[in-house]
Amino acid sequence: MNERIPLLIDTDPGVDDALALLMAFADPRHELKALTIAAGNVGLGHTVANALKLCEIAGVDVPVHPGCPVPLLHAAADAAYVHGQDGFGDTGYAPAARRPQDEHAALAILRIAREHAGRLLLVTLGPLTNLALALRLDPTLPSRVGRLVVMGGAVTGQGNTSVPAEFNIAFDPEAADIVFRSFPKAEVVDWEAVLRHGFLHTDVDAWLAAGDARARFYDAISLNTRRWSAERRGERWHSADALAMAVALAPGGVRRAEDRPLAVELEGRLSRGATVVDWQRRSGQPDNARIVLDYDQAAFEARVRGALGA
């Protein structure tokens, strides 16, 4: 039996997704089976093109499956103001030579889960539209997923989109609701945890300068985002998807996590897309989320440096 852990990543490549993907590409303990692509940070045409280009830069030949171009029910604004209109800093890179797969992302999720039933590590780095659609097609999907790691949410209401909501969940709250209702347990890396695990800008600059071709490409596509962050958030830069990927690839680095019931608000006038955590367990609902609160910062930074070849 192949001892490498099968890995499937559902993603909407902007800048922080790119760093997380480089981490996955560099990890020898996991075998990446496919990238399934959602709209989110930017439109689907860009996120698919970005995934293909990053694979080309890293020398990784992995199938790329386009998925849903819009949320399940309601239109949502993207995050081009952070990631650039193309999601990769508007650097004008030459498109990748390779083309995406014809199989839809939701169908690819179902097929790969069947092929690796019980062992699959499924990591979601963007809105949960593709996974929700897969669940509607086959509600038994959770029984074949070994671990589900979700980057999303703001577990005490300190969001980055609206006051209480985080971008990935707020982009498609109905999809997130389906996912959290369907899986018995998801490992959740939320925006508030991300803010506790930032990198000094000076360190990031040094890693990028010491790295290889991956670092040079990443330096170019992330430059405007890092400048934007420095102006608004101070001396530390944050990569949400990179933290989620660290948790997925090396769960032993988790220093503190809490299991609690988690639900997604769909109707609130001021709180649509909020992740409501029942910290006191008053609802009587099962603990469907393992919320990561603290991760080994040194191990996290070492994994990022390695992904950049630094």
The distance of Cα 88 from the centroid of its chain, to the nearest Å, equals 15
Question: Amino acid identity, residue 219?
Answer: D
What's the CA gap between 65 and 192, in Å, rounded? 30
CA proximity to 130, closest of 113, 153, 147: 113
Chain center to CA of 190: 10
Q: Dihedral (C-alpha) 274, 278, 279, 282: value to the nearest 10 degrees?
A: 150
Question: Looking at residue 287, what DSSP letter applies?
Answer: -
Short-list 199, 189, 42, 52, CA closest to 124:
189
How far CA 97 is from CA of 9, 53, 214, in Å, comes to 21, 8, 17
In DSSP terms, 149 is beta-bridged to: 123, 187
Name residue 30's beta-bridge partners.
5
- Catalytic site positions: 238
* Cα distance between residue 170 and residue 274, in whole Å: 7
Question: Which residues in 48-116 belong to E strands, given as ranges?
Answer: 64-66
Q: 120, 2 in Cβ contact below 8 A?
A: no
